[in-house]
Amino acid sequence: MIHIENLKKYYGAFPAVDGISFDVARGEILGFLGPNGAGKTTTMKVITGYYPPTGGVVTVDGLDVVENSLETRQMIGYLPESNPLYHDLTVLEYLELIAELRQIPKERRHARIKEMAAITGILDRLGQPISQLSKGYRQRVGLAQAMLHDPKLLILDEPTIGLDPNQIVEIRSLIKEIGREKTVILSTHILPEVQATCDRVVIIHHGKLVADGTPEELQAKFVGQPVVDLEVRGEGADDLDAWRGVRGVEKVERLKNLELEEVHLRLFLSQGTDARAELFHLCVEKGWTLLGLNRQIQSLEDIFHQLTQIDPAREAEEAAA
């Protein structure tokens, strides 16, 4: 559906996007991640035709976004982070305006608005002024306008920013429902949302692509230091040196806990080590009661942090430029 090859976008001498390449399959929900200033919004604006690329190729459904700008824009629905709405209009008046701008035939407008209002859950809000809507319902209106012309591709930039937990769950569910029929690019800072919603993840940093794969593939590829959390009861169980003596244990931290009789520990193991059996045997040998032993799995948030940590050398270079 989308093909991006060696995309570059410069602002003066600054490379906002610096040679990224990836594809998005038809019917896929892609999580597009990166810290502030990574180039996510710039990339999305190139795809949507708002910005021309400095170099590289971007195609939507086989059409170049520069050479076939009008055709590709018709295929795309875009919900920007700011979600610009006309607050003095009612929801219906706003969607009628968007339908006119999108050149939806007059005889189809009313039915199309009703259909999108039903899908996004705003059917009972059509007569209400946008200024009176909650943030969650304004986002729903934004989604409705983005889908009004029946695009093949939806690009959503931080669609849940500023929403409360219940609203986030509702919008996440709506995006998954939409993703059954359309290709979706979802840009967000909420990593659990990506893990729950997206089929695949692309991470960029300093304008360059640093990861591409399913959440499970990234977890398998970017394996951090093995970590085990223990919950133990018994005299002397807080002797950190005893735990350090287990083969493969590199570091031991005592975690805070409210139960005075229980000791909560975090053990950092050498790469490739599974010390759970040895830890169990130590407890048996010492007469300690092992209440819990959990091996920590690297989360998508851990991987994101690992791949997008600040590069001091680059920061110094950019400051001097």
Hey, which residues does 24 pair with through a beta bridge? 2
pLDDT value of residue 316: 45
Per the model's pLDDT, the better-predicted residue between 128 and 168 turns out to be 128
Fold of 227-297: Alpha-Beta Plaits (3.30.70)
The arrangement of secondary structure in 2-220, i.e. its CATH architecture, is 3-Layer(aba) Sandwich (3.40)
Same fold, 2-220 and 227-297: no
3-class secondary-structure state, position 295: strand
Q: Which of 197, 91, 101 is nearest to 143 (CA)?
A: 91
120-139 pLDDT tens trace: 999 999 999 999 999 889 99
pLDDT bracket for residue 312 (50, 70, 90): very low
Entry pTM: 0.77
Domain positions in the chain are: 2-220, 227-297
Contact indicator for 242, 53 with CB cutoff of 8 Å: no
Cα gap 275→270, rounded to integer Å: 10
